[in-house]
A and B are shown apart, each in its own frame.
Chain A
Amino acid sequence: EIVLTQSPATLSLSPGERATLSCRASQSVTSGYLAWHQQKPGQAPRLLIYGASSRATGIPDRFSGSGSGTDFTLTISRLEPEDFAVYYCQQYGTSPPFTFGPGTKVEIK
């Protein structure tokens, strides 16, 4: 089973700043099947990025994903007030298991 590690656990930034979130896998993620989800308090997660770098429908272009193999990055180019949330990476594919990382909280500095 692939184990995902996210860093940092918490990121304290101001609106307008750039956020860089890291996700590292214990073994290579097949075919780049790596997703990023955003979750706000009391809400369901929302898919942001799939296939390591493809934005999901309706996701603003300030969100971008990159990486391959075992190292992946989510970048938010300029933080908007609504972007302060918890972000989870997830490895998926054509069959389970589908594991999540522990999350990175992006909070207002």
Chain B
Amino acid sequence: EVQLLESGGGLVQPGGSLRLSCAASGFTFSNYAMSWVRQAPGKGLEWVSTISASSGNTYFPGSVKGRFTISRDNSKNTLYLQMNSLTAEDTAVYFCACGLGTYAFDIWGQGTLVTVSS
């Protein structure tokens, strides 16, 4: 069964850091680009980052560029999101996602909640 399982969320103080993980199973992880998408409480979906299959290319929107880093370990079938200089605006459920049958996101994890608060 194809599955993505996020972990690493929790409560962090403003200005702090957190690293999220996404464990993939059921498909050849190293063949596919992977992404992070977040959803603030009661709000819509926001694309956060994408990394190519080989890790050669990474992409971020302006809202997180310079603060977030995306990486992957293809030997461990795991995707990471390193988040630094966190603010209350980063409070959200963070989903990992990928496109297996299409470039669209056809596989989603269940999400992990990040709360930035003092």
Contact = CB atoms under 8 A, between A and B. Distances in A.
Given A96-B59, A97-B61, A102-B44, A35 B105 contact: yes
Contacts of A94: 103
A45 B50 contact: no
Interface stretch (A16-24, A46-54, A73-81): A46-54
Interface stretch (B13-21, B76-84, B106-114): B106-114
B44 A93 contact: no
B45 A100 contact: yes
Contact of A95 (B45, B59, B106): B59
Given A96-B59, A103-B44, A56 B108 contact: no
Interface residues of B, number: 22
Nearest to A50: B104
Contacts of A101: 44
Given A44-B111, A95-B59, A97-B61, A37 B47 contact: no
Interface of B: 35, 37, 44-47, 50, 57, 59, 61, 95, 99, 101-106, 108-111
Interface of A: 33, 35, 37, 39, 44-47, 50-51, 54, 56-57, 88, 90, 92-103
17 contacts: A33-B103, A33-B104, A39-B45, A44-B108, A45-B95, A45-B108, A50-B104, A50-B106, A56-B102, A56-B106, A88-B44, A92-B99, A96-B35, A96-B59, A98-B35, A98-B47, A102-B44
